[in-house]
Amino acid sequence: MKHHSGSLEVVCGSMFCGKTEELIRRLRRAIIAKQKVQVFKPSIDRRYSDQQVTSHAGMAYDAIPITKAQDILSHLESDTTVVGIDEIQFLDPEIVSIVESLADKGIRVIATGLDLDFRGEPFGSMPILMAKAERVDKLQAICMVCGEYACRTQRLVNGKPARYDDPIVIVGAAELYEARCRKHHEVPGKE
């Protein structure tokens, strides 16, 4: 089933807020509606599976691993009507023009990603994608310190907060990261 018009939906938030679960939920609904779905993920994300997007809670959906945004176009099948992209913040800046092109061709694009890096700053192309999207859903996790809503991702190094000048991209899960509220998010060395 073809869409009348394409669109970009962005699901964002901190780690452990349910972004991938929401992506999978939307993909399953698209399949029920007899739409052709393809899912992509950055090949750098090997936390749970090389060939699936997988939530921290264990939900999974088959995906094509890609190393650069352009790879989406070489794998895209002509009858695809819904494209899912998980962890989009890890892809190169060309992802913005690619998702816009897909949406302009009538494809529904559902993208998930961290809106903020571990330092609490906008992550990759996410600010641009959020601004250009027809729909943005910002999910929240639960702060591991106080139990309030969490909007930040805390990176830990040997149990202590990572420093501001540490590398931005280090793929990991609960062994390296926690969800934190604004009050309990710490970044030593940040001015």
Just list the catalytic residues.
Answer: 87
DSSP assignments along 88-149, one per residue: GGGS-TTHHHHHHHHHHTT-EEEEEEESB-TTSSB-TTHHHHHHH-SEEEEE-EE-TTTSSE
Query: Which whole-number Å values give the CA distances from 147 to 141, 153, 179, in the listed order?
Result: 9, 14, 10
Task: Report angle CA 29, 171, 181 to the nearest 5 degrees.
Answer: 75
Residue type at 96 in one-letter notation = V
